């Protein structure tokens, strides 16, 4: 078995179709099919169910797909690292992030990481929580800061804190007349703005699930691409929007009320590959602990449940 065969299998597993995979790989379909058959013969197990449309992975195939992505990602990292060292360049540390983490400590962590590792080129890649898992496995990023928990076995996760949710409300709305925490059921009949519109599942689905649990079905729903747009629409009185508490500092022309439900939270999750550089992960944990110890304004206890990294 060689790396070429692994790439062939990953392409077929991702596309669930031999024809599309062959086009993507710029080879003919028959040799692609033969290479996959040779892999199955070598392993002694079936990886694909060819009789289904689209092609389906067996249990062994799913495991092999996850592991193959990780192997190929590490190979690309090795090649990139070797080129950089050979050309006298610095190591690159790529950090994936969702936009809302920019308002709650990520800039501080990145700034201090650059100070602690002047030998490295720290790069930020905006990436939604779901795609971060794929980005970790294929080597595009080394660490991710997102809002969704993942169950992928090749990725380690650490919940840094549970951030309480608040409702952003236009000042002219009746709900803005008070500052007290708001029961989720009080949002019945309210038009709702959610983000992001894609990719899904996402933070938007988490919010809809939360409201649905309390019997809230918005009469009108508007999906937008990002948090800033969502708050802009709230300011235009399009509806209300559930956001992580730290994002309430973004606009001062809106009213914000805490959701009165201890389970109404959005986690901030640090994710990284299994067996990732332990020194880098330990350094990031240290920097996060030091930042927490300084009690920044967005970390106030009523709006957060802390977890020590």
Three-state SS for the chain is: CCHHHHHHHHHHHHHCCHHHHHHHHCCCHHHHHHHHHHHHHHHCCCCEECCCCCCEECHHHHHHHHHHHHHHHHHHHHHHHHHHHHCCCCEEEEEEECHHHHHCCHHHHHHHHHHHCCCEEEEEEECCHHHHHHHHHCCCCCEEEECCCCCCCCEEEEEEEEEEEEEEECCCCHHHHCCCCECHHHHCCCCEEECCCCCCCCHHHHHHHHHHHCCCCCCCEEECCCHHHHHHHHHCCCCEEEEEHHHHHCCCCCEEEEECCCCCEEEEEEEEECCCCHHHHHHHHHHHHHHHHCCCHHHCHHHEEECCC
User: What's residue 221's pLDDT?
Assistant: 94
Tokens for 32?
């692609």
d(CA 208, CA 193): 10
Tokens for 264?
């109404």
Least reliable range by pLDDT among 10-14, 71-75, 236-240: 71-75
In sequence order, the β-bridge partners of residue 163 are: 266, 304
CATH 2.60.40.2300 fits 83-160+266-306, yes or no: no
Q: Taking residues 177-185, what's their average pLDDT?
A: 94
Least reliable range by pLDDT among 8-12, 20-24, 111-115, 297-301: 297-301
pLDDT-derived band at 254, boundaries 50, 70, 90: very high
Q: List where CATH 3.40.190.10 sits in the chain.
A: 83-160+266-306, 162-265
User: What's residue 87's pLDDT?
Assistant: 64
More confident: 271 or 200: 271
Averaged confidence pLDDT in the chain:
89
d(CA 125, CA 279): 21
pLDDT-derived band at 62, boundaries 50, 70, 90: confident
Under 8 Å CB-to-CB from 35, ≥6 apart: which residues?
A: 4, 5, 8, 9
Whether the pLDDT of residue 16 is over 70: the answer is yes
User: What's residue 210's pLDDT?
Assistant: 92
Q: Taking residues 150-167, what's their average pLDDT?
A: 89
pLDDT-derived band at 191, boundaries 50, 70, 90: very high
User: What's residue 309's pLDDT?
Assistant: 59
User: What's residue 88's pLDDT?
Assistant: 62
Q: Taking residues 160-174, what's their average pLDDT?
A: 94
Whether the pLDDT of residue 198 is over 90: the answer is no
pLDDT-derived band at 196, boundaries 50, 70, 90: confident
Q: Taking residues 22-26, what's their average pLDDT?
A: 91
Q: List where CATH 1.10.10.10 sits in the chain.
A: 3-67
Whether the pLDDT of residue 225 is over 90: the answer is no
More confident: 28 or 67: 28
Share of the chain above pLDDT 90, in %: 55
Whether the pLDDT of residue 165 is over 90: the answer is yes
Whether the pLDDT of residue 139 is over 90: the answer is no
pLDDT-derived band at 89, boundaries 50, 70, 90: low
Q: Taking residues 195-208, what's their average pLDDT?
A: 85
CATH 1.10.540.10 fits 3-67, yes or no: no
The CATH class for the domain spanning 162-265 reads alpha beta
Whether the pLDDT of residue 294 is over 70: the answer is yes
Q: Taking residues 17-41, what's their average pLDDT?
A: 91
d(CA 303, CA 110): 23
The pTM (predicted TM-score) of the whole model is: 0.67
């Amino acid at each position: 078995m060689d790396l070429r065969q692994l790439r062939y299998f990953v392409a077929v597993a991702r596309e669930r179709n031999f024809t599309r995979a062959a086009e993507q790989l710029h080879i003919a379909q028959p040799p692609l099919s033969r290479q996959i058959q040779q892999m199955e013969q070598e392993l002694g197990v079936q990886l694909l169910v060819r009789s289904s449309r689209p092609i389906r992975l067996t249990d062994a195939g799913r495991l092999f797909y996850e592991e193959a992505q990780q192997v190929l990602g590490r190979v690309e990292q090795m090649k990139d690292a070797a080129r950089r060292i050979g050309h006298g360049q610095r190591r690159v540390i790529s950090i994936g992030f969702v936009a809302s983490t920019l308002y709650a400590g990520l800039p501080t962590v990145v700034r201090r990481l650059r100070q602690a590792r002047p030998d490295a080129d720290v790069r930020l890649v905006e990436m939604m929580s779901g795609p971060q898992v794929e980005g970790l496995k294929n080597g595009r990023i080394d660490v991710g800061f997102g809002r969704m928990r993942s169950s992928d076995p090749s990725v380690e996760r650490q919940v840094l804190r549970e951030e309480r949710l608040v409702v952003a409300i236009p000042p002219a709305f009746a709900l803005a007349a008070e500052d007290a925490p708001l029961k989720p059921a009080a949002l019945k009949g309210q038009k709702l703005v959610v983000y992001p519109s894609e990719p899904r599942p996402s933070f938007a689905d988490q919010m809809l699930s939360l409201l649905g649990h309390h019997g809230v079905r918005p009469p009108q729903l508007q999906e937008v691409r990002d948090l800033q747009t969502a708050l802009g629409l709230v300011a235009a009185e399009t509806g209300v929007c559930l956001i992580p508490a730290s994002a309430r500092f973004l606009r001062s022309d809106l009213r914000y009320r805490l959701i009165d439900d201890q389970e109404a939270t959005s986690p901030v999750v640090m994710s990284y590959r299994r067996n990732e550089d332990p020194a880098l992960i330990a350094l990031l944990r240290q920097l996060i602990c030091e930042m927490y110890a300084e009690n920044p304004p967005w970390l106030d206890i009523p709006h957060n449940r802390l977890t020590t990294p």
